Amino acid sequence: MSSCKVGRFIVYNFADIKDYKKFPNRVIENKSDTVFNFSKTIENIDLNHIRNNFDDYLTKN
């Protein structure tokens, strides 16, 4: 580890709710008028089945 990383660790320590005060922020400008939307699925997904048979779900999908 370089001394720069050690110094950053000492100054910033762990992530917490006050990180917005430590680091600068930037405004992200959207130059296009199009908005991204996720596509909706047609099939119903049973989450209990996925949790119980995750390996089967992965091989199928």
**Model confidence over 9-54: pLDDT tens digits?**
888 888 888 888 888 888 888 888 888 888 887 777 777 767 777 7
pTM over 0.75: no
**39: its two tokens:** 């596509």
Phi/psi for 58 (5° steps) reads -65, -40
Which residue type is seen at 36? F
The residue whose two tokens read 């991204």 is 36
* Gap between the Cα atoms of 2 and 58, Å rounded: 41
1 pLDDT exceeds 60? no
Q: How buried is 28 (Cβ within 10 angstroms: 0-12 exposed, 13-18 middle, 19+ buried)?
A: exposed
